[in-house]
Chains A and B, each alone.
Chain A
Amino acid sequence: MTQAEIKLCSLLLQEHFGEIVEKIGTHLIKTGSQPLRVIANDTGMSLDQVKKALCVLIQHNLVTYQLQKRGFVEYEAPCSRVLRILRYPRYIYTAKTLYSDMGELIVEELLLNGKMTMSAVVRKVADRLTETMEDGKTMDYGEVSNTFMRLADTHFIQRCPMAPETTETSDAPPPPAPTLAVNEKDMYVVPNLNLIGKGKRRRSFEDEDNGEHKAKRQKQDADSQESPPDDGIYWQANIDRFHQHFRDQAIVSAVANRMDQTSSEIVRTMLRMSEITTSSTAPYTQPLSSNEIFRSLPAGYNIVKQILDQYLTLLADDPLEFVGKSGDSGGGMYVINLHKALATLATATLESVVQERFGSRCARIFRLLLRKKHLEQKQVEDFAMIPAKEAKDMLYKMLSENFVSLQEIPKTPDHAPSRTFYLYTVNTLSSARMLLHRCYKSVANLIERRQYETKENKRLLEKSQRVEAILASMQATGAEEVQLQEIEEMITAPERQQLENLKRNVNKIDASENQVDETIFVLESYIESTVKKP
């Protein structure tokens, strides 16, 4: 929980949930797990406010609670989970590419609401889709349920832990906090709902058939009073699965860049086959035989078995070492080295940062040090073929930014500088951590800049909003062209230009936040993969 991380979390919470939640959330992140009263005391807010804020945070899976031995409940907010808020757009976009608009809306609803029952999701998504369709058409609940089930089958959404079933008449008082648990087998099982219905449009003002609407309204109220059959079974988005998908995407695109399209398709097939069978933290996927891979290739690729074998041999021999051969049965057993792939991607990220910040000659020195591990000043100059003065300058610059570190090897016990070897070296893990910290701070800077830009132009934004509201109401009451034009001219041309600029800037900053988040993902995955779990 570095300063930069805390700052970023507080900015994200403030933007998405407001001041009060932000205060409580930040306090919890800073101080670890605390009981309710202590939170209220430390933040100086009323108990009621704290309770409401905690409700919001728990609903969105940002805060967990635990029943301590003494009988009170402690609340904890893991910093990493709050930082995921930054990645929500990427999750939604992935769902869109895999399952088109329906998947996108389902995942968006789940992320926006934290936890939802299946029937609520289906109803909302159908309504939203119906809005966008042409007049007269509506979205059937069945299609949405199908997409929902497919999302659950591929583990992109999962059930939330539920309160245990209460046994009959237990005399002991209920515990202060229920312990939630979910059965592993049931995590992706979709309840058997018979959702029949169609999406409804929102009421529009110009309605000729008011009578019908009244009837419909009554009927809808009657529907919502019955409790849906899947009450209590809540779903949430499975973030780990999305991360696995991003990681696979990165590996496939790296292979495509280094080799060719066909090799990347083969690697994609192998990763797809191991999606469900390999856990997300495993260093290698399960071994896959070349026969299995051949059968699972997508239909469009009709390559002969021998060619596939050649590609697999080439992939296994490549210096990148993404794919390894683990045996010869079944035509050759191949695995994908996940940890090695993550390390290579993280190293490539480091190299590209060095290249852009210091120049390609520095990048040459950096890669040289990565390969040869430890080198003296003189050896660096010789291997990299860079004049001595420039090489020295570049090494010192990188040293000052902590990309490169010095290792002292004394020749004499008194460590005299003239009689000591100084070796330059690159430590990938610590450089990755440093870069990650920098990324967090950059995103915080970008968010602040965006808020600043919006604040600067607040007056203009309010004015344009008022004008739009006036326009809309006048159009509804059937005003003339001339009057409409008069209202539009209330915003002068330079102001319009300023608004355009503002919109463009905000979009640009938003897009770059997402780009930095991609770097964050690669570095975080790498650092996580190096942490040895007990």
Chain B
Amino acid sequence: RIKESQNAGKMKGSDNQEKLVYQIIEDAANKGIWSRDIRYKSNLPLTEINKILKNLESKKLIKAVKSVAASKKKVYMLYNLQPDRSVTGGAWYSDQDFESEFVEVLNQQCCKFLQTKAEAARDSKQNPMIQRNSSFASSHEVWKYICELGISKVELSMEDIETILNTLIYDGKVEMTIIAAKEGTVGSVDGHMKLYRAVNPIIQPTGLIRTPCGLCPVFDDCHEGGEISPSNCIYMVEWLEF
């Protein structure tokens, strides 16, 4: 009898522990929770936790998702939940791999769209204010264009497109302004809209890099009379024959 009640107690105990862990994982909702965090919250020893997690997994109540930030970390969440963007990386990551080609393609498409818009505005030859305003495109317009192009398998939101446009700004090909827009106009967020416009670089490639010295990898070792010197520089020889 005592054994039975003990056994029953154990079963109940582990049930309680399982229920506790399950509760904790449920609370974590989309983001999932790391095994160490579960341990802190439930105050159970590590071995117990691992056993319980294995149990729950086999019962198909929870699942483990690899986080894209730290690839060794595994977070646990309920089986039927979609992992959150911060864990899987969102639209740019497919199975933990950063989709650089996808980003490149989107990058070029946005750039081309803005450039054709700017050229059309320049060719219209109206007064400069109108020319400049018509060369701008709001992020909403670009988003619609990309969606219609249909090059993306995943659905992209406007924030995604804005991150792509930001990379174009860092490439120096595009500039951005923010204007105040009425609530309710298409594409406005919290009363303002971001406009983007293609621009040209302001200087030609500078003089230093037109010489071999500007791009030389062994520049610091080069001095007259040494192993590497201007007199026996092989890069100079090639450059002079060009």
State the Cβ distance, A474 to closest chain B Cβ, in Å. 35
* Interface pair B211/A512, CB less than 8 Å apart: yes
Mostly, the A contact residues are: helix
Which residues of A sit under 8 angstroms from B172, Cβ to Cβ? 351, 363, 367
Contacts A314-B129, A452-B231 given; does A364 touch B170 at CB 8 Å: yes
Interchain CB contact under 8 A, A349 and B98: no
Partner pick for B207 among A319, A371, A383, A519, CB 8 A cutoff: A519
Q: How far is the CA of A357 from the CA of B219 in the complex (A)?
A: 12
A169 on the B face (CB < 8 A)? no
Task: Report chain A residues within 8 Å CB of B229.
Answer: 448
Q: Which residue of B lies closest to A445 (CB)?
A: B230
CB of A352 within 8 Å of the partner chain: yes
Interface-centre pick from A263, A310, A517 (highest chain B CB count, 10 A)? A310
The docked-state distance in angstroms from the alpha carbon of A512 to that of B208 is 8
Residues from chain A with a CB closer than 8 A to the CB of B170 are: 364-365, 367-368, 371, 383-384
Give B202-227 as 1s and 0s: 1 = Cβ < 8 Å from A's Cβ atoms: 11011111110111000100101000
- A356-B209, A452-B231 as given contacts; A310 in contact with B215, CB under 8 Å: no
Given contacts A352-B206, A356-B209, A505-B240, contact A367 B214 (CB under 8 A): no
List chain B residues, Cβ under 8 A from A288: none
The one of B205, B206, B230 that contacts A449, using a Cβ cutoff of 8 Å: B230
Interface 0/1 of B58-95, CB less than 8 Å to A: 00000000000100000000000000000000001000
Residues of A within 8 A of B231 (CB): 448-449, 452
Task: Give per-residue flags for A309-340: 1 if the beta carbon is below 8 A from chain B beta carbons, else 0.
Answer: 01101100001100000000000000000000
B171 touches A439 (CB 8 A): no
* Stretch binding the partner chain, chosen from B9-17, B139-147, B159-167, B186-194: B159-167
A385's partner among B132, B167, B207, B209 (CB-CB below 8 A) is B167
Are A449 and B209 in contact, with the CB atoms below 8 A?
A: no
The reply to whether A307 and B207 contact each other, CB–CB distance below 8 Å, is no
B175 in contact (CB, < 8 A): yes
* Chain A residues closer than 8 Å to B128, beta-carbon distance: 260, 262-263, 307, 310-311, 314
Contact A356 B215 (CB under 8 A): yes
Which A-chain residue is minimally distant from B200 (CB atoms)? Answer: A257
> Could you tell me which residues of chain A, from 441 to 471, have a CB within 8 Å of some CB in chain B?
441-442, 445-446, 448-449, 452
CA distance A251 to B240 in the complex (A): 32
Question: Could you tell me if B207 and A344 are in contact, using CB atoms closer than 8 angstroms?
Answer: no
CB distance from A156 to the nearest CB of B (A): 24
Give the distance in Å from the alpha carbon of A313 to the alpha carbon of B129 in the complex: 9
What is the minimal beta-carbon distance from A443 to any residue of chain B, in angstroms? 8
Q: Name the B residues within 8 Å of A435 (CB-CB).
A: 208
* Chain A CB within 8 A of B127 CB: yes
Q: Which residue of A lies closest to B214 (CB)?
A: A442
**Which residues in A have their C-beta under 8 angstroms from that of B122?**
260
A388 touching B98, Cβ below 8 Å: yes
Closest to A350 in B: B206
The number of chain A residues touching the other chain, given as a range, is 35 or more
Residue of A nearest to B202 (CB): A254
Contact flags (1/0) for B121-157 with A, using CB distance below 8 Å? 0100001110010000000000000000000000000
Per a CB cutoff under 8 Å, which of A314, A388, A445 touches B132? Answer: A314
Contact with B along A490-509 (1 / 0, CB 8 A): 00000000000000010011
- Interface assignment of B47: CB less than 8 Å from any CB of chain A: no
Say if the beta carbon of A131 comes within 8 Å of chain B. no
Bound CA–CA A257/B166 (angstroms):
22
The A-B contact count (CB < 8 A) is 138
Complex contact B224–A384 (CB within 8 A): no
Complex contact A449–B202 (CB within 8 A): no
Within B29-67, the residues touching A (CB, 8 Å) are: none
Q: Which residues of B contact A473 (CB under 8 A)?
A: none
A257 pairs with B203, CB closer than 8 A: yes
Which residue on chain B has the smallest CB distance to residue A388?
A: B98
Given A356-B215, A442-B211, A385-B203 contact (CB < 8 Å): no
Taking CB atoms, residues of chain B closer than 8 Å to A360 are 171
Complex interface: chain A residues within 8 A of B199 (CB) = 258
Bound-state CA distance A252–B236 (Å) is 34
Residues of B contacting A: mostly: helix
Alpha-carbon gap, A446 to B210, bound state (A) = 12
Q: A345-B202, A449-B230, A508-B240 are in contact. Are A438 and B163 (CB under 8 A)?
A: no
Is A398 in contact with chain B by the CB < 8 A criterion? no
Which residue from chain A places its CB closest to the CB of B132 in the assembled complex?
A314
Chain A residues whose C-beta falls within 8 Å of the C-beta of B184 in the assembled complex: none
Residues of B within 8 A of A515 (CB): 207-208, 210-211
Q: Does A348 contact B (CB under 8 A)?
A: yes
Q: How far is the CB of A428 from chain B (nearest CB, A)?
A: 15
Kindly state whether residue A24 has any CB partner on chain B within 8 Å.
no
**Distance A320 CA – B177 CA, assembled complex (angstroms):** 12
State whether the Cβ of A518 lies closer than 8 Å to any Cβ in chain B: yes
B229 vs chain A, min Cβ distance (A):
8
The answer to whether A319 and B177 touch (CB under 8 A), given A352-B205, A387-B100, is yes
Chain B residues within an 8 Å CB radius of A311? 128
Residues of A within 8 A of B211 (CB): 442, 446, 512, 515-516
A339-379 at interface with B (beta carbon < 8 Å): 344-345, 348-349, 351-353, 355-357, 360, 363-365, 367-368, 371, 378
Among B69, B211, B219, B236, residue most surrounded by chain A Cβ atoms (within 10 Å): B211
A441:B208 contact, CB within 8 angstroms? no
Question: What residues of B have a CB within 8 angstroms of the CB of A452 in the complex?
Answer: 230-231
Indicate if the CB atoms of A319 and B208 lie closer than 8 Å: no
Q: Is B233 interfacial (CB 8 A cutoff)?
A: yes
Q: Does A386 contact B (CB under 8 A)?
A: yes
10 A-B contact pairs sorted by A residue (CB < 8 Å): A310-B129, A363-B171, A383-B170, A384-B167, A385-B92, A445-B213, A446-B211, A448-B229, A449-B236, A518-B207
Q: Which 7 A-B pairs have the closest CB atoms?
A: A515-B207, A442-B213, A445-B230, A356-B209, A254-B202, A452-B231, A448-B230
10 other A-B residue contacts (CB within 8 Å) besides A352-B209, A364-B167, A516-B207: A254-B202, A258-B200, A314-B128, A352-B205, A365-B170, A385-B107, A449-B230, A449-B231, A505-B240, A512-B210
